[in-house]
Structure 1
Amino acid sequence: MNKVTIVGSINLDTNLRVQRMVKPGETIHGKEHYTAAGGKGANQAVAAARAESDTRFIGAVGNDAAGEEMLDLLKEENIDVSKVEIIENEATGQSFITIDDNGENAITFFAGANYAFGPEEVTNGSTLIETSDFVIAQLETPIEATIKAFEIARKANVKTILNPAPGESDLPQELLQVTDIIVPNETEAETITGIHVKDETSAKEAAEKFHELGIEVVIITFGAQGAFYDYNGYNELVPAFKEKAVDTTAAGDTFIGTMSSVLKTDFSNLKEAILYSNKASSLTIQRFGAQPSIPFKNEIK
């Protein structure tokens, strides 16, 4: 069982199902409205926990009903939330998600308490990081906090996984130097490297850019096509499992969280871990919502 610590976001998701995406200035009818637990960090933590990792979380919520609810839900997943800060005078983060009949989504993210914690709070959770196999972070929380977490991990020989989402074109060198694995989708890979990623050839070019930045393992997710990896002179597109998508929310988070639960710290089973995670993501896209859609280990097997 891997020990996985996530440094990241916790959100209450408000979901709206529509026939098609709205155009600027247009008003359309919604088909269904519901709320669910979300946030890229929390989604990845739930995926790791349901794949039976020993999962811990470092982050923040507001001192409000949404924050209390989100913490209760994480506790139900047996996730250690002892280092999740409750921030006064801040609202718990929220995401507003629109899903069309093709399963595509558009997301607006309000950070709230997710941006109200930093390096000091991460340092308070250093024991969790130092006793982990993997530490995962995204870009929905302050980069300074992520850098501190990855620096603590590097000193303790703990492997780091960066999900650079939402994509940013100018990531600090201090962060990249302490990143072992980077997992962008094709759009995020283009934002960071400037290379239009559309196939294996262009994915290889982008991977070379990431390697030049000091990152050992590159995994670029391609949605319905699968995931491309480049590591130690080997590269390959591992195909996705073909399923009809009803909601792609949390598919990428499921991939990363699940992968962290089975990947060996020497990366010797990288392709097998990607295949396993592709399977998990194929189950997620067949269900609505973020965390409610994430599968358990017995379902993946």
Structure 2
Amino acid sequence: MDAKVVVVGSLNMDLVARATRLPRGGETLAGDSFFTVPGGKGANQAVAVARLGGSVAMIGNVGDDAYGQQLRQALQVEGVDCQAVSVCDGVSSGVALIVVDASSQNAIVIIPGGNGLLSAEAVQRFDALLQAAEIVICQLEVPLETVGWTLARARELGKTVILNPAPASEPLPAQWFAHIDYLTPNESEAEALTGLPVTDQDSARRAAEQLLKLGAGKVIVTLGAQGALFVSANGSQHFPAPHVEPLDTTAAGDTFIGGFAAGLSQGMGEGEAIAFGQRAAALSVTRAGAQPSIPYARELQS
């Protein structure tokens, strides 16, 4: 069966340390626990689509190491089509070094490894997957030239294009916006893309309206505990977040994106798909780790 959703992006092994607080510069801090868990924004989003009822394929790279084998296997176990997850000889797989504090905030350092070698040519080799898809999702943990090529190709093919601009530290290339149906930044990413401060619904709306002016089709600003703001040419709508006690926010944004895409691929309207993604993300933050925290659709049935 052809995958309705194709995720083009990163696969990382997350090396997670928990401590009472984040260390200061130059400080050695005793931690509470350590574990490794499959992650990477692309792989997380693919797993979220699969667990939340969507049919999904992943296009990405791993290294020729034990982490690469584990990352690929973690996707296969979830039913993700991995024919386009390629092994790069002589390099490590992507790694994320994550410290999580007692209040569930995190600090992350990413080593790209094989993710940095995902070229436009590599994606083009699997063009049949893009052609068969309904929805194409990208993030920013692989080379920007590759992201730009994929957005343009997906638009050329008439697909629904979702860009999760994470991690964003500067404005996007101007030519990208016309290719994007749904741009999904969080507060800090919306601020980085526009230069406007984003602290609440009103400031998020202003930033989103700026992104619409730049050419994005529609914008969903995720606001954590404040919910999500959906902004289009027809106006804006706020979606309050379910109230939960957070344990670990890692992969909450990825879970939302996967849930939103899974919802769209199953015929939900935009609002229903946003609410579905929010419920999935809310459940994910009550659990530790990236992919292990992502819920299954059956867990969201009330």
| TM-score (norm. length: structure 2) | 0.96
| CA deviation profile, 1:15-53 (whole Å, cap 9, x unmatched) | 001011111222221101000000000000000000121
Aligned residue identity for 1:286 = T
Residue 242 of structure 2 corresponds to which residue in structure 1? Answer: 241
Residue 225 of structure 1 corresponds to which residue in structure 2? Answer: 226
Alignment CA distance shift 1:53-1:243 (3 Å)? same
What does 1:145-224 align with in structure 2 at a 5 Å threshold? 145-224=146-225
Within 1, Cα distance between the matches of 2:148 and 2:136? 11
Alignment CA distance shift 1:292-1:66 (3 Å)? same
| TM-score (norm. length: structure 1) | 0.96
Aligned residue identity for 1:182 = L
Within 1, Cα distance between the matches of 2:120 and 2:3? 25
User: Does the aligned pair in 2 maintain the 1:146–1:175 contact within 8 Å?
Assistant: no
Residue 6 of structure 2 corresponds to which residue in structure 1? Answer: 5
Please state how far the C-alpha of 1:264 moved relative to its aligned partner. 6.0
| CA deviation profile, 1:193-239 (whole Å, cap 9, x unmatched) | 01101122211111111111111110000011111110231212201
What does 1:219-298 align with in structure 2 at a 5 Å threshold? 219-263=220-264, 269-298=269-298
Aligned residue identity for 2:272 = E
Aligned residue identity for 2:11 = I
Please state how far the C-alpha of 1:2 moved relative to its aligned partner. 7.6
Where 2:231 maps in the other structure, the secondary structure is strand
Where 1:96 maps in the other structure, the secondary structure is strand
Within 2, Cα distance between the matches of 1:248 and 1:57? 23
Alignment CA distance shift 1:265-1:179 (3 Å)? farther
What does 1:26-37 align with in structure 2 at a 5 Å threshold? 26-37=27-38
Which consecutive unaligned segments of at least 5 residues does structure 2 have?
A: none
User: Does the aligned pair in 2 maintain the 1:66–1:92 contact within 8 Å?
Assistant: yes
User: Does the aligned pair in 1 maintain the 2:8–2:59 contact within 8 Å?
Assistant: yes
Residue 84 of structure 1 corresponds to which residue in structure 2? Answer: 85
Please state how far the C-alpha of 1:269 moved relative to its aligned partner. 1.6
Please state how far the C-alpha of 1:64 moved relative to its aligned partner. 1.0
Count of equivalent residues: 300
Question: Are residues 1:130 and 2:131 paired?
Answer: yes
Cα RMSD of the aligned pairs, angstroms, is 1.5
Within 1, Cα distance between the matches of 2:81 and 2:293? 21
Within 2, Cα distance between the matches of 1:190 and 1:228? 14
Alignment CA distance shift 1:218-1:273 (3 Å)? same
| CA deviation profile, 1:108-153 (whole Å, cap 9, x unmatched) | 1110110112110111111111111111111000111112222221
Aligned residue identity for 1:141 = V
Extract structure 1 runs of 4+ deviating beyond 6 A.
none
User: Does the aligned pair in 2 maintain the 1:2–1:261 contact within 8 Å?
Assistant: no
Please state how far the C-alpha of 1:174 moved relative to its aligned partner. 2.6
Aligned residue identity for 1:55 = V
Which stretch of the first structure deviates more once superposed, 171-180 or 241-250?
171-180
Within 2, Cα distance between the matches of 1:175 and 1:114? 21
How many percent of aligned residue pairs carry the same amino acid? 40
